[in-house]
Structures are given as structure tokens and as C-alpha cells.
Structure 1
């Protein structure tokens, strides 16, 4: 009898544990849950903690509460000025209405597929309305804000809130890059040539100004030297005149010496008559005392 009670107790204990395991469940802070009974929604659980359900008859579907991210494959788009772009975008989103989410897309894979379609459509529309220059990194923000806003509005039907849409990478297609780079190189060479031309022109202008200033400086220096030389000659003439007035004989002697210095150079031959006044002092210097 005791063994029978023991076995019965064990069976009841195991059964109780099984019932409790099918009745009680936990919801984490990062989760929300739907209680489904025979394919029908019974209630939504948003608060974290320990909760219960009817065993076997009800099932739990847990749905992520945190912000999720969808990284799409690169796709080709055409700009307003008919340039092709290869764009890879990232969408950040979260589930705000678990029941609507479950009814429309069922799970995260279905949600990502729907979101990718929406973003592709809105991104294609936005890029087609803007020139290539407006879509480079420095001017991309307004376009992406417009894409995120329209995508968020359409995603609400799936119980999804779109946080933002960002361009992860934007490139030119491989076959277009070569021609674009060639145009960029040609443009840089044109700019460099213009700068060199402007530099040569400026250099010539500076040299002309320098030569002009040099000529003016030399002319002024020559003028000043001539003026000073004239003043010196005038001063010498005054001194000579003063000396002539005070001692004509000495003045004549000095002037004769200057004349000797000028024409009696090395290896010079001069023909003069014996009574030449120029030889006066030479003759007198040879007379015996």
C-alpha cells in the first residue's frame, strides 16, 4: 500500500510540474508576447515578469521589443541627371503593435522583406528627384530624412515604427567609375594648367615691376653721382681759382703736373717743341743751382 501511495505521489508531482511548465512562462524586458488560442488572439503581454496561460490550449508567441536593424543588399538607382548609383542602405526599426505585426508579416524575416520593398521604392523615388551632387555625403541628409518619413508612414500598417534609414555606402557602378575618374583627372589637370598660367603671368608682372624699380633706382643713383661729381668739380675749380689768385706760379706748377700725369703714361711718346710752355718746369728743374 505504501508503495502505491509513493508511486501515486510521484505521478502527481510529475504531472503538476508538467502542468506548471505549460501554464507559467516569463517575459523578458526586451520582449513582448501574444497569447494565441486555437488561432485566435486572446491577449497581449507587454510587462516583463512571470505570467500564466491555459496549458496545451494556448500558445505563446514572443516578439522582440528592442530596435532591430535591416542591412539591405546594394541596389542600382538612377539620379535626376541620369547618373547611376550603387546604394547600400540600413533601416533601423522596432515593433510597436505586436498583434498587427503578427497578423501582417508573422515574423522578423517577413518584416524585413516588407521594409526592404518599402525603402527600395522610396529611395528610388527620392534619388530620381535629385541630381548626383545633392546625394553625396555632405548633402545626403535631407533626402534620407524624406525617405525615412515616408517609409515610417507606410510601415505603420505592419505594426512597425521606422526609426531611421541610412545610406551605408554609395558608389558608382564599376563600368562608370573609369569614365568618371578620367573626367576628374582631366578637370584637375585643367585647373592645374590655369593655376600655372596665372602663376607665370604674375611672375612676369613681378619681374617687370622689379626691372622698372631697378631702372629708376639706377637712374637716380647715376643722377646723384653726376650731381656730386659736378659739385666736386666746381669745388675743385673754386679751389684752383683761389690758389691761382694767391700764388699763380704754384697753381701753374700743379696744373702742369696734372698734365704730365695725363699724357706721360707708360711707354708714351710725345713730340713737343723745346720752347713749349708745357716743358717749362722740366727745363727749370734741370738748371744747375
Structure 2
């Protein structure tokens, strides 16, 4: 009987010891940090994961999350520096870096969220109140969010909290003002585009004028060079003609007459010639030497009955005169109703 009683008491003692041992142990995992409290006073902070011991029924453990936590703030109205009313929706992320200070200042995460929302709204109003609407929506949005993050982080340090990031989810105009603001922005952009196009047209006209001036100068220089080359060629041609005339005047006269035939009797159907067959113009048609149609010089008889010798012929014309021989011997070419030229008694049309 006594053995049964002692056995039951032993089992109870073992059970109590087991329960006390269980209550004296606690585990902190890698996503947590903890504070050991004794009668409401913090006696030990724990930041590393592992198995820890405490006094059962006397000490208790408060756990805090080591991960980054989200903070959602309700939208608020902000007046920008250009007096535009904006509806701003911002949110942030933070983590608990000092669990002891966090426990002493706010105690729980819901209270911490409430305190941080107040700090966030205050920072958003101060920073965005110094910025314009254009800076917020386009030019300096990232810089403004960085400034808000730094301001909230400085004020949250006393809570044992590190503010990791603050983002502006939405920054819009009130519905009543959006259409008017967008219309004014569109008008400003159109005005800027018009100014840019006008400046481009002005530059284009200046470039075209410069190009035209350069082209005119180049063409004038080219024409001057061509006239100089043409004059040089004409001088060379005259020199060659002069040498050819000096070498063989008869052939030169024949050559010039052939040129006159080519010009006067060409394939132009509008050209008409009215000329006597025994004209000086056709002197090479019957005689290649051109002498058959020339009349004998008039020699007066001498008193003694002897035949006087003909007077010596005139000297050969100069080269320049020979060069113009075709202009003298060739008939004028008459086109249409022009006035006909005459060759002695012969009419040339």
C-alpha cells in the first residue's frame, strides 16, 4: 500500500519537474528577437536565435519580428509650393533594430504603426509643401521620396525603429482640378513645341541661305574659269589658223569656203538661197583651185601696139582677214521673213 502511495507521489514530482523544465525553456528562431521580463521589468534582450532558459512562472518572454514590416498610411491632401492641391498616398517599410527601446516607447507593433503614420504624414506635408507639382510627378520624385525617408528615419530612431524606405504610391490632383491642370499643361507644351519649331525653321533658312551663297560663289568661279579657258582656247585656235594660213594660203581659203558651204547649205529645211550660179560663193564648185571664175584683169593697150603686162596682184590678206573670209564669201542665211542679203546683183534669201 505504501509503495503505491510513494510511487504516485514520485510520478507527480516527476511530472511537476517536467512541466517546470518545459516552462523554463523557450526558443527564439531566426526571424525573431526577444525580451525576457521579470515582474514587468526587462532583464535580458535576446537578438540571436537559439534555445534559452528562464525562471518558470516568474519570467515571461516578449517576441518581436526581425523582418522588414510594412506601414500603410491613409491618403492625405497636400498643398504644393505652386499652390496646387494634391492627394498623396504614401507607404513605408521599417524594421525593429532596438527591441528594448521599442518595448519601452511603443510596446507593440500596432501602436508603432500608429506613431509612424503620424510621423510619415508630417514628413510628407513638409517635404512636398516645398516642391512643385511638376517636381513631384516628373522631375524630382525619387529625390523627394528619399528626403521623406530620411526625415521619418531621424524621428523614428527614438522608437528603436529603422525606416528602410518610403514610397509615394500615388500623387494626383483632386478630380475637380485635374482636367483644368492637364489642359494648362498641354497648352504650355504646345507653346514650347511651337517655339522650338520656329527656331528650327529660322536655323534652316539661315543654312539654306548660306548654302545658296556658297553655290553662287562656286558657280561664278567656275564660269570665270571656263571663260578663261575658252579665251585661252580661242587664242590657241587663232594661232593655229594663222600658222596654217601662212603655210598654205590657198588651202586655207579652200577650207574656209568648205566651212561656209557647210553652214550655208546645211540640212536646215528653213534655209533658202537665191544666188547666181556664177557667184563668187560657188567658185570652188567648178574649179578646185577657185581661179576659173575669176575675171581677167583689164589691161589697156600700149601705144606701140604691144600688149601690156597685167598689173601685179595685191598681196595676200593677213591671217586675220583670211579667217574672216567665210563671212565675206558666204551668203547670209535667211530664216523665215528676214531681209535678204545681196551678192553683187544676186539676191540671197
Q: Provide the C-alpha distance between the structure 2 equivalents of 1:110 and 1:97, rounded to a whole number of angstroms.
A: 14
1:82 match: secondary structure? coil
Q: Provide the C-alpha distance between the structure 2 equivalents of 1:122 and 1:220, rounded to a whole number of angstroms.
A: 74
CA deviation after TM superposition for structure 1 residue 50, in Å: 2.4
Q: Provide the C-alpha distance between the structure 2 equivalents of 1:78 and 1:216, rounded to a whole number of angstroms.
A: 64
Other-structure match for 1:119: 120
Match among 82, 85, 88 for residue 86 of structure 1: 88
Match among 129, 138, 143 for residue 139 of structure 1: 143
Other-structure match for 1:271: 274
Q: How many residues were matched structurally?
A: 276
1:140 match: secondary structure? helix
User: What TM-score, normalized to structure 2?
Assistant: 0.66
Other-structure match for 1:219: 220
Other-structure match for 2:283: 280
1:141-182 CA-partner distances (Å, limit 9, x unpaired): 6622552254236xx2xx433344522534224625555554
Q: Provide the C-alpha distance between the structure 1 equivalents of 2:28 and 2:6, rounded to a whole number of angstroms.
A: 40
Structure 2 residue ranges without an equivalent (≥5): 293-349
1:33-74 CA-partner distances (Å, limit 9, x unpaired): 24243xxx344221464222252xx35241316254242234
Higher relative contact order (CA 8 A, sep 6+): 1
Q: Provide the C-alpha distance between the structure 2 equivalents of 1:187 and 1:221, rounded to a whole number of angstroms.
A: 51
Q: Provide the C-alpha distance between the structure 2 equivalents of 1:167 and 1:214, rounded to a whole number of angstroms.
A: 61
- Judge conservation of contact 2:123–2:148 (CA < 8 Å) in 1: no
User: What TM-score, normalized to structure 1?
Assistant: 0.77
Q: Provide the C-alpha distance between the structure 2 equivalents of 1:9 and 1:214, rounded to a whole number of angstroms.
A: 120
The correspondence of residues 1-289 of structure 1 with structure 2, limited to 5 A, is 1=1, 2-22=3-23, 24-26=24-26, 28=28, 30-37=32-39, 41-47=40-46, 49-55=51-57, 58=58, 60-64=60-64, 66=66, 68-76=68-76, 77-83=78-84, 84-94=86-96, 96=98, 98=100, 101-102=102-103, 104-133=105-134, 135=136, 136-140=140-144, 143-144=147-148, 146-152=150-156, 156=158, 159-173=159-173, 175=175, 178-266=179-267, 267=269, 268-273=271-276, 276-285=279-288
Higher helix share: 1
Q: Provide the C-alpha distance between the structure 1 equivalents of 2:120 and 2:227, rounded to a whole number of angstroms.
A: 90
1:203-250 CA-partner distances (Å, limit 9, x unpaired): 333333333333333333333333333333322322322333333222
1:26 match: secondary structure? strand
CA deviation after TM superposition for structure 1 residue 94, in Å: 1.6
2:233 match: secondary structure? helix
Q: Provide the C-alpha distance between the structure 1 equivalents of 2:229 and 2:180, rounded to a whole number of angstroms.
A: 73
- Judge conservation of contact 1:122–1:150 (CA < 8 Å) in 2: no
Other-structure match for 2:341: none
1:110-154 CA-partner distances (Å, limit 9, x unpaired): 12112212222233233223334555334226622552254236x
1:46 match: secondary structure? strand
- C-alpha distance 63-178 of structure 1, shift in aligned 2 (>3 A): farther
1:166-203 CA-partner distances (Å, limit 9, x unpaired): 22534224625555554454444444434433333333
